[in-house]
């Protein structure tokens, strides 16, 4: 539900900063500005022009702060309503006092994401774009940012709209016959319907195939480092992090717990987890570390299995390979500066094998690239246009649209027009949920409540 009252919130992060911005949106935005802001120059607030002045409490005559104010007349604003932004000094107390003054003018404190929700409800952006705004703010890697920016520009929305148009075209043809029950569905129209539905189906299937890569771009990946004690896992972790995060010793079995750090590899966000060396041991603490390492294996997107090139393939290495059965694994052959004794029993089970010297850093860049290649530019994402699904919500909606279309195809031979129309409407409903056209208030509440206040 959309109550057209005037809302306000602090749009800059909490704490002290250079500038603090209070945003006001709604019909009374200009009135609030004229009440509490006194521009230095005559003429009052002019739309889309910054003016310098003071924020004053009229009731007491007290000057609260010097500030810049900008008023943006509807519809040319973030929310498509009248918007006022007050840029004052960034101390939390100043910002709180200005906000209190704004609220005293009969303005309500905005809910999380309410400005963006209004932009959506006023038709400036669709739900994909609103979610992309949140993703831009939360981006932890170049890949995530680029994808979110493309989505906020409408790249994914255009594809979804294309699907909707195809489905509407097909539905219009089917419904035309429902209205004239004496006419049989002609072959030309059947062909036209099939073309439209086929086009929609192709786009949906294409988009669904981008989900894995889109998810990885948005959320990053988790990469687990495993290997026998002393293979060089901690040295590798330190190299990948470019710092001495893990303790490196020549004493086997010293890493007991899991060390977790997030880094960027060529724009991809990677959560690295270094584990205890896997081997048979009687030491209870070490055993606990090993079982924690083994527990993590099924949750990781990729495993880096580190082997010591200077020692022969051992029972411990076999233990690790057994634990990794069925997992996507890159073999890392470390200590290649020493005399080589290691031979892989089966090279085919690895996604790649990379030779490194963790001690000097040789091969580390290649390893990073190899990790990225496992996830990005698999060919499924249109990398030029960067159109990819990245949210489970979008994926789930398109899966249910695909399900409706499958039912549509299987019902075609019966020519039951009511049922065919029902399937097409089901698909439209699902597709509309992605852009928000058919999203319920509960869905919108859920999405916007995860936004920050002031956005
Ligand atoms: P972890 O138990 O698997 O974490 O292994 P560490 O990273 O603690 O390394 C074990 C030992 O191997 C340490 O003495 C390291 O200095 C040494 N080491 C690690 N990487 C290399 C390498 O590439 N070449 C050589 N010669 N020694 C290495």
**378 CB-contact burial (10 Å; exposed 0-12 / middle 13-18 / buried 19+):** middle
pLDDT digits (tens, 9 = 90+) for 200-232: 999 999 999 999 889 999 999 999 999 988 999
Question: Six-digit token pair at 19?
Answer: 């500038």
Counting from 1 in the atom list of ligand 1, the atom nearest the Cα of 362 is 23
Q: Please give the distance, rounded to the nearest whole angstrom, from the Cα atom of residue 91 to the centre of ligand 1.
A: 49
pLDDT digits (tens, 9 = 90+) for 259-318: 888 999 888 899 999 887 777 766 777 677 777 777 888 899 999 999 999 999 999 899
As a whole number of angstroms, the distance between CA 234 and CA 255 comes to 8
Q: Which of 159, 160, 192 is nearest to 177 (CA)?
A: 192
Write out the H or E segment, with its range, that includes residue 372. helix 364-375
Query: Does the C-beta of 454 come closer than 6 Å to ligand 1?
Result: no
Q: What is the pLDDT along the chain (455 residues), one digit of tens a residue?
A: 678 899 999 999 988 889 999 999 999 999 999 999 999 987 788 999 999 999 999 889 899 999 999 999 999 999 999 999 999 999 999 999 999 999 999 999 999 999 999 999 999 999 999 999 999 999 988 889 999 999 999 999 999 999 999 999 999 999 988 877 677 777 788 899 999 999 999 999 999 999 988 999 999 999 999 998 899 999 999 999 987 666 666 665 565 567 888 999 888 899 999 887 777 766 777 677 777 777 888 899 999 999 999 999 999 899 889 989 999 999 999 999 999 999 988 888 999 999 999 999 999 999 999 999 998 865 444 445 678 899 999 999 999 999 999 999 998 888 788 899 999 999 999 999 999 998 888 889 988 988 888 88
The contacts of residue 63 (CB under 8 Å, 6+ apart) are: 54, 55, 56
- Tell me how far apart the alpha carbons of residues 191 and 173 are, in angstroms, rounded to a whole number: 11
Nearest CA to ligand 1 atom 14: 250
Q: What is the pTM of this model?
A: 0.79
**Residue 19 to residue 90: CA distance in whole angstroms:** 4
H/E segment holding residue 44: none
Q: Which residue matches tokens 């039951």?
A: 416
Distance from the alpha carbon of residue 171 to the mean position of ligand 1, in angstroms: 65
Residue ID of nearest Cα to ligand 1 atom 25? 335
Q: How far is the CA of 321 from the centre of ligand 1 (A)?
A: 20
Taking the centre of ligand 1 as the mean of its atom positions, its distance from the CA of residue 305, in whole angstroms, is 14
- Give one word for 99, left, alpha or beta, with left for phi > 0 and alpha for psi -120 to 50: alpha
């Amino acid at each position: 539900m959309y109550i057209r009252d005037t809302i306000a919130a602090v749009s800059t992060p909490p704490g002290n900063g250079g500038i603090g911005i209070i945003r006001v949106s709604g019909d009374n935005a200009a009135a609030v500005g004229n009440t509490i802001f006194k521009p230095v120059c005559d003429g009052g607030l002019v739309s889309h022009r910054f003016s310098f002045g003071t924020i004053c409490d009229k009731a007491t005559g007290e000057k609260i702060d010097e500030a810049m104010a900008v008023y943006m007349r509807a519809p040319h604003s973030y929310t498509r309503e009248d918007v006022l932004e007050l840029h004052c000094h960034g101390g939390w107390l100043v910002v709180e006092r200005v906000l209190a003054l704004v609220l005293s003018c009969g303005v309500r404190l905005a809910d999380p994401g309410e400005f963006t929700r209004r932009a959506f409800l006023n038709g400036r952006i669709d739900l994909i774009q609103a979610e992309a705004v949140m993703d831009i703010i939360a981006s932890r890697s170049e890949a995530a940012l680029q994808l979110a920016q493309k989505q906020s520009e409408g790249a994914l929305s255009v594809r979804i709209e294309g699907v909707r148009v195809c489905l509407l075209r097909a539905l219009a043809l089917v419904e035309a016959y429902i209205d004239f029950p004496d006419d049989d569905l002609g072959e030309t129209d059947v062909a036209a319907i099939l073309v439209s539905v086929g086009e929609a189906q192709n786009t949906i299937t294409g988009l669904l195939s981008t989900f894995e890569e889109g998810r990885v771009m948005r959320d990053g990946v988790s990469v687990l480092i495993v290997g026998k004690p002393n293979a060089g896992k901690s040295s590798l972790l330190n190299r990948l992090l470019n710092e001495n995060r893990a303790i490196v010793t020549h004493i086997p079995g010293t890493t007991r717990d899991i060390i977790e750090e997030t880094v960027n590899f060529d724009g991809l966000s990677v959560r690295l987890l270094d584990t205890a060396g896997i081997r048979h041991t009687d030491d209870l603490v070490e055993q606990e570390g090993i079982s924690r390492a083994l527990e993590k294996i099924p949750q990781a997107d990729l495993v880096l299995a580190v082997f010591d090139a200077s020692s022969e393939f051992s029972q411990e290495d076999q233990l690790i390979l057994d634990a990794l059965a069925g997992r996507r694994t890159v073999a890392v052959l470390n200590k290649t500066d020493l005399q080589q004794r290691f031979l892989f029993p089966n090279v085919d089970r690895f996604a790649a094998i990379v030779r490194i010297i963790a001690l000097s850093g040789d091969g580390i860049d290649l390893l990073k690239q190899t990790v990225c290649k496992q996830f990005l530019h698999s060919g499924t994402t249109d990398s030029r246009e960067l159109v990819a699904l990245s949210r489970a919500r979008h994926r789930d909606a398109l899966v249910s649209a695909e399900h409706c279309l499958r039912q549509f195809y299987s019902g075609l031979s019966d020519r039951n027009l009511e049922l065919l129309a029902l399937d097409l409407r089901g698909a439209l409903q699902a597709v509309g949920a992605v852009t928000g056209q058919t999203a319920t208030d509960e869905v919108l509440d859920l999405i916007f409540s995860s936004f920050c206040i002031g956005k």
